[in-house]
Amino acid sequence: MKNCPFAFDDKRTNFLYMNGVVDQELSTEGYMLRFPCPFVQKRLFSYFAYELFNDMGKIFEPFVDISDTITDTTLNIPNLLRRYEAHLRKNRDWMLKEAPRRSDMRVREAVFHFNLYAYLERFFGSYPSRVWPEFPTGNGKVDLMIQHGGRMYVLELKSYKDLPAYQQALAQAGRYGKQLDLERIYLVMFVETMPDDARQRHEVDCVDTDSGVIVRPVFVATGK
């Protein structure tokens, strides 16, 4: 997610601020715009997810065996994300045809956060499960919470930049997992391409030395 500058001189920002919808947040980039109300954040996230991806196509065939991913009491997050990645690759051309793009015509990173949420909503459609977004630090950070089989699963979503930023993300996920009193948290890294050898090296459990939380990174390749 890209931060937006806060400016009273911007008519839209001024209007939203005066009506209590947005607030300002000081960061290293200056004063940035944020949504202080969790209800507003969730409603906007859900709105854009369905506005962009009202049709996700067929999530899985009705008689296919998906017990490697989900049963009534278990959920395998890495396998779930592999299924999502395969669905994205198969349907990418039509599904992202109208998606917002950058000046270089690449799909904006935040689009994949909405896309994953829309996919999970439909994946769990017939299960007594819940999926919802959380925004623990204002702008730039999104988590997806999954409640299934009496357990809570937390997916922290980020876009891969480089190895130093990746190492920082692992540590941040560990600290956040400790705040939530979790034994394990999943760090979902969106990246355009992911070579098989790099996936094998990096998709392994990492025990955060400070928190003791197990951080499991899972990479989702968004390119063709």
Shared domain check, 16 and 100? no
CA distance 138 to 20: 15
Shared domain check, 203 and 172? yes
Angle CA 178–135–130, to nearest 5: 85
Nearest one of 136, 126, 117 to 220, comparing CA atoms: 117
DSSP per-residue codes, 33-46: EE---HHHHHHHHH
pTM (2 decimals)? 0.83
> What does the pLDDT profile of the chain (224 residues) look like in tens digits?
466 788 888 888 899 888 888 888 877 778 877 777 777 777 888 888 888 898 899 998 889 999 999 999 999 999 999 999 999 999 999 998 888 888 888 888 788 999 999 999 999 988 999 999 887 654 456 789 999 999 999 999 998 989 999 999 999 899 989 989 999 999 999 999 999 999 999 999 999 888 899 999 999 999 86
The pair of three-digit structure tokens given for residue 181, joined into one six-digit string? 């009193």
CA distance 154 to 77: 10
Shared domain check, 63 and 17? no
Q: For residue 141, what pLDDT is reported?
A: 64
CB atoms within 10 A of CB 62: 5
Q: Do 3 and 27 meet the contact criterion of CB atoms below 8 Å apart?
A: yes
> Quick check: helix, strand or coil at residue 166?
helix
Structural domain for 2, as ranges: 1-36
The pair of three-digit structure tokens given for residue 158, joined into one six-digit string? 């980020």
Shared domain check, 217 and 181? yes
**Cα-based distances in Å from 164 to 108, 110, 174, 186, 219:** 22, 21, 16, 18, 16
Q: Do 189 and 166 meet the contact criterion of CB atoms below 8 Å apart?
A: yes
CA distance 195 to 202: 11
CA distance 58 to 87: 9
Q: For residue 2, what pLDDT is reported?
A: 60
- Residue labelled with tokens 């959380």: 134
Shared domain check, 18 and 97? no
Shared domain check, 109 and 142? yes
Domains of the chain: total: 2
Shared domain check, 119 and 144? yes
Angle CA 157–5–169, to nearest 5: 25
> Quick check: helix, strand or coil at residue 72?
coil
